[in-house]
């Protein structure tokens, strides 16, 4: 029988594998593929371009010297100037459901109720009302949950596999 820890570690390992493969290995394989196919299937067939890039090494060095700064500039423009990244972020914000409701976990279990109690206490103080035993019990419950969070514990119902 597989224990929860082994299953959790298996999923973590698979996640790390996917990130390593998709972000790094596939990236480098893609660059090598682009360079070799563009040179040997396209540039080698056009005599005028072969005069500019007589060897594959010169082609690679030229692409590195010109291509790296160019794609870095394009990436910078994507984030800072063109507006595509801000549009993508806006769509992501609209699609994320917890931008329109309280996020489960410590936000919903501790901080939301704490803010609500602070507002209620301030309203009662401003209107001259006294705190009830129920108010004090809610405050004590929130304090206990905050202490649990501060000590590294969980509140509410953590998702399956977190513990």
85 lies in the same domain as 68? yes
Is residue 126's pLDDT more than 80?
yes
Cα Rg, the chain, nearest whole Å: 29
Within a domain: residue 2? Answer: yes
Same domain, 38 and 77: no
Say what the pTM is. 0.53
Q: How many domains does the chain have?
A: 3
2 has a pLDDT exceeding 60: no
Angle made by CA atoms 145, 146, 150, in degrees to the nearest 5? 120
Task: Name the residue range of residue 125's domain.
Answer: 102-150
- Checking phi first, is residue 103 left (phi over 0); if not, alpha (psi -120 to 50) or beta? beta
The reply to whether 79 falls in a domain is: yes
Question: Residues 6 or more apart from 135 whose CB is under 8 A from it?
Answer: 117, 120, 121, 124
47-104: pLDDT as tens digits: 899 999 999 999 999 999 999 999 999 999 988 888 888 888 888 888 887 777 777 7
Q: What percent of the chain has pLDDT over 90?
A: 43
Helix/strand/coil percentages in the chain, nearest 5: 80, 0, 20
With respect to residue 158, please indicate whether it lies within any of the assigned structural domains. no
Q: Is residue 112 part of a domain?
A: yes
């Amino acid at each position: 029988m597989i224990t929860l820890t082994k299953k959790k570690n298996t999923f973590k390992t698979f996640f790390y594998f996917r990130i390593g493969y998709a972000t790094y290995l596939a990236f480098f394989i893609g660059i090598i593929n682009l360079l070799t196919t563009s040179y040997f299937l396209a540039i080698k067939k056009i005599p005028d371009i072969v005069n500019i890039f007589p060897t594959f090494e010169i082609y690679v060095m030229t692409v590195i010297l010109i291509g790296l700064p160019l794609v870095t500039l394009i990436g910078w423009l994507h984030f800072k100037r063109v507006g595509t990244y801000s549009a993508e972020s806006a769509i992501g914000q609209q699609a994320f459901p917890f931008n329109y409701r309280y996020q489960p976990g410590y936000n919903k279990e501790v901080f939301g109720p704490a803010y609500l109690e602070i507002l209620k206490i301030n309203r009662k103080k401003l209107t001259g009302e006294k705190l009830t035993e129920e108010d004090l019990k809610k405050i004590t419950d929130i304090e206990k949950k905050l202490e649990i969070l501060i000590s590294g514990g969980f509140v509410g119902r953590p998702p399956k596999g977190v513990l």
